[in-house]
Structure 1
Amino acid sequence: MKLVYFRGKVPNFGDELNLDVWPALLPKGFLDEDESELFVGIGSIIGTQMPAHARKFVMGSGYAGYMGLPDVHDGSWDIRFVRGPKTAETLNISPDLAICDSAILLRAMNLPAPAPNIGVAFMPHYESLERGNWAEVCRLAGITLIDATKPNDTVLAQIKGARLLITEAMHGAIVADALRTPWISAKPIFWGHHMKWLDWSSALGIDLRMQELAPSNVLEAYIRATGRGGMRGKTGRLAASPLATLPNTYFAHRAARHLQRLSQMEPQLSEESRIIDATDRAMTAVDAFVRSRVAVS
Protein backbone atom coordinates (compact mmCIF):
# COMPACT_ATOMS: atom_id res chain seq x y z
CA MET A 1 0.00 0.00 0.00
CA LYS A 2 1.56 3.27 -1.16
CA LEU A 3 1.24 6.57 0.69
CA VAL A 4 0.10 9.34 -1.66
CA TYR A 5 0.21 13.06 -1.00
CA PHE A 6 0.87 16.25 -2.93
CA ARG A 7 4.49 17.01 -3.83
CA GLY A 8 5.28 20.28 -5.56
CA LYS A 9 8.55 21.71 -6.78
CA VAL A 10 9.42 22.71 -3.21
CA PRO A 11 8.57 20.97 0.10
CA ASN A 12 5.42 22.21 1.83
CA PHE A 13 4.90 21.73 5.56
CA GLY A 14 1.29 20.52 5.43
CA ASP A 15 1.96 17.92 2.76
CA GLU A 16 5.31 16.84 4.19
CA LEU A 17 3.60 16.03 7.52
CA ASN A 18 2.60 12.76 5.88
CA LEU A 19 6.21 11.64 6.21
CA ASP A 20 6.13 12.30 9.96
CA VAL A 21 2.67 11.15 10.99
CA TRP A 22 2.12 7.86 9.17
CA PRO A 23 5.50 6.16 9.73
CA ALA A 24 5.17 7.04 13.41
CA LEU A 25 1.63 5.71 13.85
CA LEU A 26 1.40 2.77 11.45
CA PRO A 27 3.13 -0.59 11.97
CA LYS A 28 6.55 -0.98 10.41
CA GLY A 29 6.23 -2.21 6.85
CA PHE A 30 2.55 -1.25 6.61
CA LEU A 31 3.29 1.17 3.78
CA ASP A 32 5.21 0.11 0.68
CA GLU A 33 5.38 0.95 -3.03
CA ASP A 34 2.42 -1.20 -4.16
CA GLU A 35 0.33 1.21 -6.24
CA SER A 36 -2.63 -1.14 -6.50
CA GLU A 37 -3.62 0.17 -3.04
CA LEU A 38 -3.22 3.82 -2.06
CA PHE A 39 -3.15 5.33 1.42
CA VAL A 40 -4.62 8.81 0.90
CA GLY A 41 -3.25 10.98 3.69
CA ILE A 42 -2.98 14.60 4.79
CA GLY A 43 -3.93 17.27 2.26
CA SER A 44 -6.57 18.37 -0.24
CA ILE A 45 -5.84 15.44 -2.52
CA ILE A 46 -9.18 13.72 -3.01
CA GLY A 47 -9.83 14.01 -6.74
CA THR A 48 -10.08 12.43 -10.14
CA GLN A 49 -6.30 12.39 -10.54
CA MET A 50 -6.23 9.18 -8.47
CA PRO A 51 -5.84 6.06 -10.65
CA ALA A 52 -9.24 4.47 -11.28
CA HIS A 53 -7.92 0.91 -10.95
CA ALA A 54 -6.35 1.43 -7.51
CA ARG A 55 -8.10 0.79 -4.21
CA LYS A 56 -8.02 4.09 -2.32
CA PHE A 57 -8.12 4.32 1.48
CA VAL A 58 -8.86 7.85 2.73
CA MET A 59 -7.54 8.85 6.14
CA GLY A 60 -8.46 12.45 7.00
CA SER A 61 -7.96 13.97 3.55
CA GLY A 62 -10.02 16.80 2.09
CA TYR A 63 -11.58 17.95 -1.15
CA ALA A 64 -10.88 21.58 -2.07
CA GLY A 65 -11.75 21.72 -5.76
CA TYR A 66 -8.12 21.65 -6.92
CA MET A 67 -8.86 18.49 -8.90
CA GLY A 68 -12.00 17.04 -10.46
CA LEU A 69 -14.70 15.62 -8.20
CA PRO A 70 -14.47 11.82 -8.08
CA ASP A 71 -17.29 9.34 -7.68
CA VAL A 72 -16.27 7.88 -4.34
CA HIS A 73 -19.16 5.40 -4.57
CA ASP A 74 -17.69 3.53 -7.55
CA GLY A 75 -16.31 0.71 -5.40
CA SER A 76 -12.66 1.79 -5.47
CA TRP A 77 -12.80 4.12 -2.47
CA ASP A 78 -12.74 3.17 1.22
CA ILE A 79 -13.23 6.34 3.25
CA ARG A 80 -12.37 5.99 6.93
CA PHE A 81 -12.68 9.71 7.70
CA VAL A 82 -12.32 13.09 5.99
CA ARG A 83 -11.16 16.56 6.97
CA GLY A 84 -14.54 18.15 7.56
CA PRO A 85 -18.26 18.45 6.82
CA LYS A 86 -17.82 20.36 3.55
CA THR A 87 -15.77 17.51 2.14
CA ALA A 88 -18.34 14.99 3.39
CA GLU A 89 -21.21 16.95 1.85
CA THR A 90 -19.42 17.40 -1.49
CA LEU A 91 -18.58 13.69 -1.70
CA ASN A 92 -22.11 12.70 -0.56
CA ILE A 93 -20.88 10.56 2.32
CA SER A 94 -22.03 10.28 5.92
CA PRO A 95 -21.40 13.40 8.03
CA ASP A 96 -20.19 11.01 10.75
CA LEU A 97 -17.03 10.60 8.67
CA ALA A 98 -16.18 14.31 8.97
CA ILE A 99 -13.79 13.96 11.91
CA CYS A 100 -10.85 16.30 11.23
CA ASP A 101 -7.68 16.77 9.23
CA SER A 102 -5.39 13.89 10.14
CA ALA A 103 -2.56 16.27 11.05
CA ILE A 104 -4.39 16.35 14.40
CA LEU A 105 -2.66 13.00 15.05
CA LEU A 106 0.54 14.91 15.83
CA ARG A 107 -1.00 15.05 19.31
CA ALA A 108 -0.31 11.31 19.64
CA MET A 109 3.38 11.65 18.75
CA ASN A 110 6.66 12.67 20.34
CA LEU A 111 7.51 16.08 18.88
CA PRO A 112 10.51 18.42 18.97
CA ALA A 113 10.93 20.72 21.96
CA PRO A 114 9.62 24.29 21.53
CA ALA A 115 12.05 26.65 19.83
CA PRO A 116 13.13 29.55 22.06
CA ASN A 117 12.57 33.27 21.45
CA ILE A 118 9.88 32.93 18.80
CA GLY A 119 7.32 35.36 20.23
CA VAL A 120 4.75 36.31 17.61
CA ALA A 121 5.22 34.40 14.34
CA PHE A 122 3.78 34.62 10.86
CA MET A 123 3.50 31.64 8.51
CA PRO A 124 2.70 32.52 4.88
CA HIS A 125 1.29 29.97 2.46
CA TYR A 126 4.28 28.34 0.82
CA GLU A 127 3.34 29.87 -2.55
CA SER A 128 3.35 33.33 -0.98
CA LEU A 129 6.99 32.86 0.01
CA GLU A 130 7.85 32.79 -3.69
CA ARG A 131 5.42 35.47 -4.81
CA GLY A 132 5.72 37.84 -1.89
CA ASN A 133 8.32 39.70 0.19
CA TRP A 134 7.45 38.23 3.57
CA ALA A 135 10.95 37.92 5.00
CA GLU A 136 11.35 41.70 4.71
CA VAL A 137 7.82 42.31 6.01
CA CYS A 138 8.45 40.20 9.11
CA ARG A 139 11.80 41.92 9.70
CA LEU A 140 10.11 45.31 9.57
CA ALA A 141 7.32 44.14 11.88
CA GLY A 142 9.61 42.46 14.43
CA ILE A 143 7.78 39.17 13.90
CA THR A 144 9.32 35.72 13.37
CA LEU A 145 8.86 34.31 9.86
CA ILE A 146 8.00 30.60 9.79
CA ASP A 147 8.98 29.19 6.42
CA ALA A 148 6.65 26.34 5.35
CA THR A 149 9.37 24.94 3.06
CA LYS A 150 11.84 24.33 5.90
CA PRO A 151 12.25 20.87 7.54
CA ASN A 152 9.20 19.84 9.55
CA ASP A 153 11.10 19.48 12.82
CA THR A 154 12.11 23.14 12.52
CA VAL A 155 8.58 24.31 11.73
CA LEU A 156 6.99 22.19 14.49
CA ALA A 157 9.44 23.52 17.07
CA GLN A 158 8.74 27.11 16.00
CA ILE A 159 4.97 26.66 16.16
CA LYS A 160 5.26 25.04 19.60
CA GLY A 161 7.49 27.87 20.78
CA ALA A 162 5.37 30.74 19.45
CA ARG A 163 3.33 32.88 21.79
CA LEU A 164 0.96 33.54 18.88
CA LEU A 165 0.87 32.32 15.28
CA ILE A 166 -0.60 34.43 12.49
CA THR A 167 -0.98 32.08 9.56
CA GLU A 168 -1.99 32.22 5.91
CA ALA A 169 -1.14 28.51 5.66
CA MET A 170 -4.06 26.33 6.78
CA HIS A 171 -1.82 23.62 8.23
CA GLY A 172 -0.15 26.29 10.30
CA ALA A 173 -3.49 26.80 12.04
CA ILE A 174 -4.28 23.06 12.16
CA VAL A 175 -0.98 22.25 13.83
CA ALA A 176 -1.03 25.29 16.11
CA ASP A 177 -4.53 24.34 17.26
CA ALA A 178 -3.49 20.72 17.82
CA LEU A 179 -0.46 21.81 19.86
CA ARG A 180 -2.49 24.50 21.69
CA THR A 181 -0.64 27.52 20.32
CA PRO A 182 -3.09 30.42 19.93
CA TRP A 183 -3.52 31.38 16.28
CA ILE A 184 -5.02 34.01 14.01
CA SER A 185 -6.08 33.00 10.50
CA ALA A 186 -5.11 35.28 7.65
CA LYS A 187 -7.27 34.94 4.55
CA PRO A 188 -5.05 33.62 1.74
CA ILE A 189 -4.28 36.30 -0.83
CA PHE A 190 -4.99 33.77 -3.58
CA TRP A 191 -8.74 33.10 -3.32
CA GLY A 192 -8.44 29.45 -4.44
CA HIS A 193 -7.25 28.45 -0.96
CA HIS A 194 -10.26 29.75 1.03
CA MET A 195 -12.85 26.92 1.10
CA LYS A 196 -10.69 24.30 2.78
CA TRP A 197 -10.30 26.48 5.88
CA LEU A 198 -14.04 26.30 6.54
CA ASP A 199 -14.00 22.55 6.01
CA TRP A 200 -11.40 22.00 8.75
CA SER A 201 -12.70 24.60 11.21
CA SER A 202 -16.27 23.33 10.99
CA ALA A 203 -15.14 19.86 12.05
CA LEU A 204 -13.90 21.32 15.35
CA GLY A 205 -16.79 23.71 15.87
CA ILE A 206 -14.58 26.76 15.38
CA ASP A 207 -16.35 29.99 14.47
CA LEU A 208 -13.57 30.95 12.09
CA ARG A 209 -12.59 34.62 12.05
CA MET A 210 -10.40 35.09 8.97
CA GLN A 211 -8.59 38.40 8.79
CA GLU A 212 -7.57 40.16 5.60
CA LEU A 213 -3.88 39.96 4.79
CA ALA A 214 -2.22 43.01 3.23
CA PRO A 215 -0.19 42.14 0.11
CA SER A 216 3.57 42.35 0.57
CA ASN A 217 4.48 43.56 -2.93
CA VAL A 218 3.11 44.57 -6.33
CA LEU A 219 2.63 41.00 -7.51
CA GLU A 220 0.50 40.03 -4.51
CA ALA A 221 -1.55 43.20 -4.95
CA TYR A 222 -2.21 42.09 -8.53
CA ILE A 223 -3.17 38.58 -7.36
CA ARG A 224 -5.55 40.04 -4.76
CA ALA A 225 -7.20 42.27 -7.36
CA THR A 226 -7.52 39.70 -10.16
CA GLY A 227 -7.65 36.27 -8.49
CA ARG A 228 -4.84 35.11 -10.77
CA GLY A 229 -2.10 33.21 -9.00
CA GLY A 230 0.83 32.90 -11.40
CA MET A 231 4.23 34.59 -11.40
CA ARG A 232 4.91 34.16 -15.09
CA GLY A 233 4.25 36.62 -17.89
CA LYS A 234 4.37 40.40 -18.16
CA THR A 235 2.96 41.15 -14.70
CA GLY A 236 5.47 38.91 -12.91
CA ARG A 237 8.39 40.45 -14.79
CA LEU A 238 7.17 43.97 -14.10
CA ALA A 239 6.67 43.24 -10.37
CA ALA A 240 10.31 42.09 -10.12
CA SER A 241 11.77 44.93 -12.20
CA PRO A 242 13.52 48.10 -10.92
CA LEU A 243 10.36 50.04 -11.85
CA ALA A 244 8.56 48.26 -8.98
CA THR A 245 11.15 49.09 -6.30
CA LEU A 246 9.29 52.03 -4.78
CA PRO A 247 5.81 50.46 -4.82
CA ASN A 248 7.25 47.19 -3.47
CA THR A 249 8.81 49.13 -0.57
CA TYR A 250 5.47 50.80 0.09
CA PHE A 251 3.62 47.47 0.13
CA ALA A 252 6.21 45.87 2.44
CA HIS A 253 5.93 48.64 5.05
CA ARG A 254 2.13 48.62 4.79
CA ALA A 255 2.02 44.82 5.24
CA ALA A 256 4.35 45.05 8.26
CA ARG A 257 2.08 47.56 9.97
CA HIS A 258 -0.90 45.33 9.18
CA LEU A 259 0.79 42.26 10.71
CA GLN A 260 1.50 44.26 13.85
CA ARG A 261 -2.19 45.16 14.08
CA LEU A 262 -3.18 41.53 13.59
CA SER A 263 -0.87 40.53 16.45
CA GLN A 264 -2.99 42.64 18.81
CA MET A 265 -6.23 40.86 17.93
CA GLU A 266 -7.82 38.10 19.98
CA PRO A 267 -6.51 34.71 18.82
CA GLN A 268 -8.49 31.50 18.40
CA LEU A 269 -8.27 27.93 19.71
CA SER A 270 -10.78 25.11 19.44
CA GLU A 271 -12.42 23.96 22.66
CA GLU A 272 -10.29 21.47 24.55
CA SER A 273 -13.11 18.93 24.65
CA ARG A 274 -13.58 19.15 20.86
CA ILE A 275 -9.94 18.57 20.00
CA ILE A 276 -9.64 15.70 22.46
CA ASP A 277 -12.75 14.05 21.00
CA ALA A 278 -11.59 14.56 17.40
CA THR A 279 -8.14 13.15 18.21
CA ASP A 280 -9.68 10.09 19.84
CA ARG A 281 -12.05 9.50 16.91
CA ALA A 282 -9.28 9.88 14.35
CA MET A 283 -6.97 7.55 16.27
CA THR A 284 -9.79 5.01 16.63
CA ALA A 285 -10.39 5.12 12.86
CA VAL A 286 -6.70 4.55 12.13
CA ASP A 287 -6.48 1.69 14.63
CA ALA A 288 -9.60 0.04 13.20
CA PHE A 289 -8.17 0.29 9.70
CA VAL A 290 -4.88 -1.27 10.76
CA ARG A 291 -6.70 -4.12 12.51
CA SER A 292 -8.84 -4.76 9.43
CA ARG A 293 -5.73 -5.00 7.26
CA VAL A 294 -3.97 -7.34 9.66
CA ALA A 295 -7.06 -9.55 9.75
CA VAL A 296 -7.15 -9.70 5.94
CA SER A 297 -3.47 -10.59 5.65
Structure 2
Amino acid sequence: MKLTYFQGNPPNFGDELNTSMWQHLLPADFFDRDSSVLFLGIGSIIQHSYPKTSKKLVVGAGYGGYTRKPDVHDGSWEFWFVRGPQTAHELGLDPALAIADAAILLRETPLPHPAPDIGVGFMPHYESIERGNWQEACALAGITFIDPTEPTEKVISQIRGAKLVITEAMHGAIVADALRTPWIGIRAMHHVHRFKWYDWARALNIDYAPRSVIPSNCREAWAYTTGRSGSGARAISVAGSTAAAPFNRAFQHLAARSLQKLATSDAQLSSDREIDLATDQAMSTINHMLRAYARGAVGLI
Protein backbone atom coordinates (compact mmCIF):
# COMPACT_ATOMS: atom_id res chain seq x y z
CA MET A 1 0.00 0.00 0.00
CA LYS A 2 1.45 3.36 -1.06
CA LEU A 3 1.13 6.49 1.07
CA THR A 4 -0.19 9.07 -1.40
CA TYR A 5 -0.19 12.82 -0.79
CA PHE A 6 0.51 16.09 -2.55
CA GLN A 7 4.26 16.70 -2.74
CA GLY A 8 4.88 20.35 -3.38
CA ASN A 9 8.05 22.26 -4.12
CA PRO A 10 8.70 23.62 -1.58
CA PRO A 11 7.10 21.07 0.74
CA ASN A 12 3.88 22.13 2.47
CA PHE A 13 3.13 21.58 6.17
CA GLY A 14 -0.34 20.09 5.83
CA ASP A 15 0.70 17.59 3.20
CA GLU A 16 3.97 16.70 4.91
CA LEU A 17 2.08 15.74 8.07
CA ASN A 18 1.39 12.48 6.22
CA THR A 19 5.05 11.52 6.48
CA SER A 20 5.24 12.07 10.23
CA MET A 21 1.80 11.45 11.75
CA TRP A 22 0.85 8.07 10.31
CA GLN A 23 4.00 6.36 11.56
CA HIS A 24 2.61 6.75 15.09
CA LEU A 25 -0.84 5.40 14.26
CA LEU A 26 -0.28 2.55 11.80
CA PRO A 27 1.89 -0.59 11.82
CA ALA A 28 5.48 -0.21 10.62
CA ASP A 29 4.78 -2.45 7.61
CA PHE A 30 1.52 -0.76 6.61
CA PHE A 31 3.05 1.22 3.73
CA ASP A 32 5.26 0.08 0.90
CA ARG A 33 5.77 1.18 -2.71
CA ASP A 34 2.99 -1.01 -4.13
CA SER A 35 0.74 1.41 -6.03
CA SER A 36 -2.02 -1.13 -6.53
CA VAL A 37 -3.48 0.30 -3.31
CA LEU A 38 -3.21 4.05 -2.64
CA PHE A 39 -3.70 5.43 0.88
CA LEU A 40 -5.25 8.92 0.83
CA GLY A 41 -4.94 10.57 4.23
CA ILE A 42 -4.33 14.27 4.86
CA GLY A 43 -5.06 16.72 2.07
CA SER A 44 -7.47 17.72 -0.70
CA ILE A 45 -6.41 14.67 -2.65
CA ILE A 46 -9.67 13.05 -3.68
CA GLN A 47 -9.36 13.64 -7.40
CA HIS A 48 -9.94 12.00 -10.76
CA SER A 49 -6.36 11.39 -11.91
CA TYR A 50 -5.57 8.14 -10.08
CA PRO A 51 -5.33 4.92 -12.10
CA LYS A 52 -8.62 3.06 -12.24
CA THR A 53 -6.72 -0.15 -11.65
CA SER A 54 -5.55 1.08 -8.23
CA LYS A 55 -7.68 0.77 -5.12
CA LYS A 56 -8.07 4.16 -3.42
CA LEU A 57 -8.29 3.93 0.37
CA VAL A 58 -9.63 7.23 1.78
CA VAL A 59 -8.86 7.93 5.44
CA GLY A 60 -9.72 11.54 6.25
CA ALA A 61 -8.93 13.17 2.90
CA GLY A 62 -11.15 15.77 1.25
CA TYR A 63 -12.30 16.94 -2.13
CA GLY A 64 -10.96 20.44 -2.77
CA GLY A 65 -12.42 21.32 -6.14
CA TYR A 66 -8.95 21.48 -7.69
CA THR A 67 -9.91 18.87 -10.30
CA ARG A 68 -13.14 17.54 -11.69
CA LYS A 69 -14.96 15.12 -9.45
CA PRO A 70 -13.83 11.51 -9.65
CA ASP A 71 -16.31 8.68 -10.08
CA VAL A 72 -16.03 7.34 -6.56
CA HIS A 73 -18.70 4.73 -7.24
CA ASP A 74 -16.72 2.81 -9.87
CA GLY A 75 -15.66 0.08 -7.44
CA SER A 76 -12.08 1.28 -6.97
CA TRP A 77 -12.70 3.52 -3.94
CA GLU A 78 -12.89 2.47 -0.29
CA PHE A 79 -14.01 5.21 2.12
CA TRP A 80 -13.36 5.04 5.86
CA PHE A 81 -13.97 8.71 6.60
CA VAL A 82 -13.66 12.06 4.84
CA ARG A 83 -12.78 15.60 5.87
CA GLY A 84 -16.24 17.11 6.00
CA PRO A 85 -19.86 17.26 4.86
CA GLN A 86 -19.13 19.20 1.66
CA THR A 87 -16.84 16.41 0.47
CA ALA A 88 -19.54 13.87 1.25
CA HIS A 89 -22.20 15.94 -0.52
CA GLU A 90 -20.11 16.70 -3.63
CA LEU A 91 -19.19 13.03 -4.08
CA GLY A 92 -22.55 11.51 -3.18
CA LEU A 93 -21.29 9.74 -0.07
CA ASP A 94 -22.98 8.76 3.17
CA PRO A 95 -23.01 11.91 5.37
CA ALA A 96 -21.89 9.76 8.32
CA LEU A 97 -18.47 9.50 6.68
CA ALA A 98 -17.87 13.23 7.28
CA ILE A 99 -15.91 13.02 10.54
CA ALA A 100 -12.95 15.42 10.27
CA ASP A 101 -9.69 16.12 8.51
CA ALA A 102 -7.28 13.29 9.31
CA ALA A 103 -4.83 15.74 10.89
CA ILE A 104 -7.09 15.79 13.94
CA LEU A 105 -5.34 12.54 14.86
CA LEU A 106 -2.22 14.47 15.85
CA ARG A 107 -4.03 14.54 19.20
CA GLU A 108 -3.31 10.81 19.46
CA THR A 109 0.44 11.09 18.76
CA PRO A 110 3.53 12.28 20.66
CA LEU A 111 3.94 16.03 20.21
CA PRO A 112 7.00 18.31 20.35
CA HIS A 113 7.25 20.73 23.26
CA PRO A 114 5.68 24.17 22.74
CA ALA A 115 8.18 26.64 21.33
CA PRO A 116 8.90 29.59 23.66
CA ASP A 117 8.28 33.26 22.96
CA ILE A 118 5.94 32.81 19.99
CA GLY A 119 3.17 35.14 21.09
CA VAL A 120 0.97 35.71 18.05
CA GLY A 121 1.98 33.72 14.98
CA PHE A 122 1.06 34.13 11.34
CA MET A 123 1.18 31.26 8.82
CA PRO A 124 0.63 32.12 5.14
CA HIS A 125 -0.37 29.58 2.52
CA TYR A 126 2.84 28.07 1.22
CA GLU A 127 2.25 29.64 -2.21
CA SER A 128 2.08 33.08 -0.58
CA ILE A 129 5.66 32.81 0.64
CA GLU A 130 7.08 33.02 -2.88
CA ARG A 131 4.44 35.50 -4.06
CA GLY A 132 4.24 37.81 -1.02
CA ASN A 133 6.42 39.58 1.54
CA TRP A 134 4.91 38.09 4.69
CA GLN A 135 8.13 37.49 6.58
CA GLU A 136 8.89 41.20 6.34
CA ALA A 137 5.31 42.19 7.21
CA CYS A 138 5.40 39.98 10.30
CA ALA A 139 8.67 41.57 11.40
CA LEU A 140 7.10 45.03 11.10
CA ALA A 141 4.03 43.86 13.02
CA GLY A 142 5.95 42.19 15.84
CA ILE A 143 4.32 38.86 14.98
CA THR A 144 6.08 35.49 14.66
CA PHE A 145 6.28 34.27 11.06
CA ILE A 146 5.39 30.56 10.94
CA ASP A 147 6.80 29.09 7.74
CA PRO A 148 4.65 26.21 6.38
CA THR A 149 7.62 24.91 4.39
CA GLU A 150 9.63 24.19 7.56
CA PRO A 151 9.76 20.66 9.08
CA THR A 152 6.45 19.56 10.59
CA GLU A 153 7.86 19.15 14.12
CA LYS A 154 9.05 22.77 14.17
CA VAL A 155 5.72 24.11 12.91
CA ILE A 156 3.72 22.04 15.41
CA SER A 157 5.99 23.29 18.20
CA GLN A 158 5.38 26.90 17.14
CA ILE A 159 1.62 26.40 16.94
CA ARG A 160 1.60 24.81 20.41
CA GLY A 161 3.62 27.71 21.79
CA ALA A 162 1.49 30.47 20.26
CA LYS A 163 -1.24 32.26 22.16
CA LEU A 164 -2.96 32.90 18.81
CA VAL A 165 -2.38 31.67 15.24
CA ILE A 166 -3.51 33.83 12.33
CA THR A 167 -3.41 31.62 9.27
CA GLU A 168 -4.05 31.60 5.55
CA ALA A 169 -3.01 27.94 5.48
CA MET A 170 -5.94 25.67 6.31
CA HIS A 171 -3.81 23.15 8.17
CA GLY A 172 -2.49 25.96 10.31
CA ALA A 173 -6.08 26.29 11.59
CA ILE A 174 -6.75 22.53 11.66
CA VAL A 175 -3.68 21.79 13.75
CA ALA A 176 -4.16 24.83 15.99
CA ASP A 177 -7.76 23.79 16.63
CA ALA A 178 -6.78 20.18 17.32
CA LEU A 179 -4.10 21.28 19.79
CA ARG A 180 -6.39 23.91 21.36
CA THR A 181 -4.55 27.03 20.21
CA PRO A 182 -7.02 29.82 19.31
CA TRP A 183 -6.87 30.74 15.64
CA ILE A 184 -8.11 33.26 13.10
CA GLY A 185 -8.51 32.12 9.51
CA ILE A 186 -7.91 34.65 6.79
CA ARG A 187 -9.45 34.44 3.33
CA ALA A 188 -6.94 32.77 1.00
CA MET A 189 -5.37 35.16 -1.50
CA HIS A 190 -6.22 32.74 -4.31
CA HIS A 191 -9.90 31.78 -4.49
CA VAL A 192 -9.24 28.12 -5.35
CA HIS A 193 -8.13 27.46 -1.78
CA ARG A 194 -11.34 28.64 -0.07
CA PHE A 195 -13.88 25.84 -0.61
CA LYS A 196 -12.05 23.32 1.56
CA TRP A 197 -12.09 25.53 4.69
CA TYR A 198 -15.88 25.29 4.96
CA ASP A 199 -15.73 21.53 4.47
CA TRP A 200 -13.45 21.08 7.48
CA ALA A 201 -15.13 23.71 9.67
CA ARG A 202 -18.63 22.31 9.22
CA ALA A 203 -17.47 18.86 10.31
CA LEU A 204 -16.69 20.39 13.72
CA ASN A 205 -19.70 22.74 13.77
CA ILE A 206 -17.44 25.78 13.55
CA ASP A 207 -19.18 28.89 12.26
CA TYR A 208 -16.22 29.75 10.07
CA ALA A 209 -15.87 33.50 9.54
CA PRO A 210 -12.77 34.23 7.43
CA ARG A 211 -11.15 37.63 7.84
CA SER A 212 -9.27 39.65 5.25
CA VAL A 213 -5.77 41.08 5.35
CA ILE A 214 -4.13 43.63 3.11
CA PRO A 215 -1.92 41.97 0.46
CA SER A 216 1.78 42.21 1.31
CA ASN A 217 2.96 43.49 -2.10
CA CYS A 218 1.79 44.42 -5.60
CA ARG A 219 2.06 40.90 -6.95
CA GLU A 220 -0.19 39.54 -4.23
CA ALA A 221 -2.64 42.40 -4.76
CA TRP A 222 -2.74 41.44 -8.44
CA ALA A 223 -3.59 37.84 -7.54
CA TYR A 224 -6.23 38.89 -5.03
CA THR A 225 -8.04 41.30 -7.35
CA THR A 226 -7.82 39.30 -10.59
CA GLY A 227 -8.43 35.83 -9.17
CA ARG A 228 -5.25 34.63 -10.85
CA SER A 229 -2.24 32.98 -9.22
CA GLY A 230 0.17 35.89 -9.65
CA SER A 231 2.76 33.48 -11.00
CA GLY A 232 2.68 34.66 -14.61
CA ALA A 233 5.66 36.39 -16.19
CA ARG A 234 3.80 39.70 -16.56
CA ALA A 235 2.69 39.78 -12.91
CA ILE A 236 6.20 38.95 -11.69
CA SER A 237 7.84 41.50 -13.98
CA VAL A 238 5.49 44.41 -13.28
CA ALA A 239 5.18 43.79 -9.53
CA GLY A 240 8.94 43.45 -9.17
CA SER A 241 9.86 46.51 -11.22
CA THR A 242 11.61 49.61 -9.89
CA ALA A 243 8.43 51.62 -10.41
CA ALA A 244 6.52 49.22 -8.16
CA ALA A 245 9.03 49.39 -5.29
CA PRO A 246 7.36 52.22 -3.32
CA PHE A 247 3.96 50.54 -3.71
CA ASN A 248 5.42 47.24 -2.49
CA ARG A 249 6.78 49.00 0.61
CA ALA A 250 3.40 50.62 1.23
CA PHE A 251 1.58 47.29 0.90
CA GLN A 252 4.07 45.71 3.29
CA HIS A 253 3.33 48.29 6.00
CA LEU A 254 -0.41 48.09 5.42
CA ALA A 255 -0.26 44.28 5.66
CA ALA A 256 1.62 44.58 8.96
CA ARG A 257 -1.04 46.91 10.35
CA SER A 258 -3.82 44.57 9.28
CA LEU A 259 -2.09 41.70 11.09
CA GLN A 260 -1.76 43.82 14.22
CA LYS A 261 -5.46 44.64 14.07
CA LEU A 262 -6.39 40.97 13.65
CA ALA A 263 -4.21 40.03 16.62
CA THR A 264 -6.58 41.97 18.90
CA SER A 265 -9.82 40.56 17.45
CA ASP A 266 -11.86 37.54 18.50
CA ALA A 267 -10.36 34.14 17.70
CA GLN A 268 -12.10 30.87 16.86
CA LEU A 269 -11.92 27.38 18.36
CA SER A 270 -14.20 24.37 18.09
CA SER A 271 -15.86 23.26 21.30
CA ASP A 272 -14.09 20.70 23.47
CA ARG A 273 -17.07 18.41 22.97
CA GLU A 274 -16.87 18.57 19.17
CA ILE A 275 -13.11 18.03 18.99
CA ASP A 276 -13.23 15.13 21.47
CA LEU A 277 -16.12 13.48 19.64
CA ALA A 278 -14.48 13.81 16.22
CA THR A 279 -11.15 12.54 17.55
CA ASP A 280 -12.84 9.50 19.12
CA GLN A 281 -14.78 8.76 15.92
CA ALA A 282 -11.69 9.08 13.72
CA MET A 283 -9.56 6.93 16.02
CA SER A 284 -12.30 4.31 16.33
CA THR A 285 -12.50 4.20 12.52
CA ILE A 286 -8.72 3.77 12.27
CA ASN A 287 -8.85 0.87 14.74
CA HIS A 288 -11.69 -0.72 12.76
CA MET A 289 -9.64 -0.36 9.59
CA LEU A 290 -6.60 -1.94 11.24
CA ARG A 291 -8.65 -4.94 12.35
CA ALA A 292 -9.84 -5.35 8.76
CA TYR A 293 -6.25 -4.92 7.58
CA ALA A 294 -5.09 -7.69 9.92
CA ARG A 295 -7.68 -9.98 8.32
CA GLY A 296 -6.46 -9.02 4.86
CA ALA A 297 -9.76 -7.29 4.11
CA VAL A 298 -8.48 -3.78 3.40
CA GLY A 299 -7.75 -2.56 -0.10
CA LEU A 300 -8.95 -5.66 -1.93
CA ILE A 301 -10.58 -5.05 -5.30
Q: What range describes the TM-score normalised by the shorter chain of this pair? A: over 0.9
Secondary structure at 2:244 match in 1: helix
Map Cα deviations across residues 218-262 of structure 1 (whole Å, 9 max, x no partner). 001111110000322112111112221100000000000000000
Please, what TM-score do these two structures have when normalized by structure 1? Answer: 0.99
Unaligned runs of 5+ in 2: none
Match of 1:131? 131
Shift, 1:189, TM fit: 0.9
Distance 2:31 2:250 in 1: 50
Match of 2:165? 165
Match of 1:152? 152
Secondary structure at 1:211 match in 2: coil
Match of 1:244? 244
Distance 1:210 1:178 in 2: 18
Map Cα deviations across residues 46-79 of structure 1 (whole Å, 9 max, x no partner). 0111111101100000001112211111100000
Distance 2:6 2:37 in 1: 17
Letter in 1 for 2:222: Y
Distance 1:243 1:231 in 2: 19
CA RMSD of aligned residues (A): 0.8
Q: 1:63 aligned to 2:63? A: yes
Distance 2:9 2:168 in 1: 20
Distance 1:67 1:295 in 2: 34
Shift, 1:271, TM fit: 0.4
Q: Is the 8 A contact 1:189 1:213 kept in 2?
A: no
Shift, 1:20, TM fit: 1.1
Letter in 1 for 2:128: S
Match of 2:207? 207
Q: Is the 8 A contact 2:121 2:144 kept in 1?
A: yes
Match of 2:253? 253
Structure 1 runs (4+) deviating above 3 angstroms are none
Shift, 1:279, TM fit: 0.3
Distance 2:235 2:27 in 1: 50
Distance 2:220 2:80 in 1: 38
Distance 1:290 1:33 in 2: 19
Q: Is the 8 A contact 1:64 1:195 kept in 2?
A: yes
Distance 2:18 2:173 in 1: 16
**What does 1:147-296 correspond to in 2, within 5 Å?**
147-296=147-296
Q: Is the 8 A contact 1:159 1:176 kept in 2?
A: yes
Letter in 1 for 2:204: L
Match of 1:41? 41
Distance 1:21 1:165 in 2: 21
Secondary structure at 1:184 match in 2: strand
Secondary structure at 1:296 match in 2: coil
**What does 1:73-92 correspond to in 2, within 5 Å?**
73-92=73-92
* Range with bigger deviation, 177-186 or 234-243: 234-243
Match of 1:113? 113
Unaligned runs of 5+ in 1: none
Secondary structure at 2:57 match in 1: strand
Please, what TM-score do these two structures have when normalized by structure 2? Answer: 0.97
Q: 1:141 aligned to 2:138? A: no
Q: Is the 8 A contact 1:188 1:213 kept in 2?
A: no
Distance 1:19 1:220 in 2: 30
Q: Is the 8 A contact 1:125 1:148 kept in 2?
A: yes
